[in-house]
Structure 1
Amino acid sequence: MKRLAPFLVGLLFGLGLCLSGMTNPAKVLAFLDLAGAWDPSLAFVMLGAIAVAFVGFRVARARGRTVSGAPLDWPTAKAIDGSVIGGSLLFGVGWGLVGLCPGPAIADVGFLDGRAALFVAAMAAGMAIVAVWPAIRAGAPATAALEDG
Structure 2
Amino acid sequence: MHLSSSFLSAFLAILSATTTTSATPHSLPKTAVRLAADPTNPALTWHVSNFDIGCSPGGCVYSFNIAGTASANTPGFNTTCNGTSVQDDYVACKDNAVLAQIEPAQYPNWTVKAQHQWRETEWSHYYAFGERNVTEALKTFTITVGEVYGVA
**Normalising TM by the smaller chain, what interval?**
under 0.3
Structure richer in helix, relative to its length: 1
Higher-Rg structure is: 1
Instruction: Identify which of structures 1 and 2 has the higher relative contact order when contacts are C-alpha pairs closer than 8 Å and 6+ apart.
Output: 2
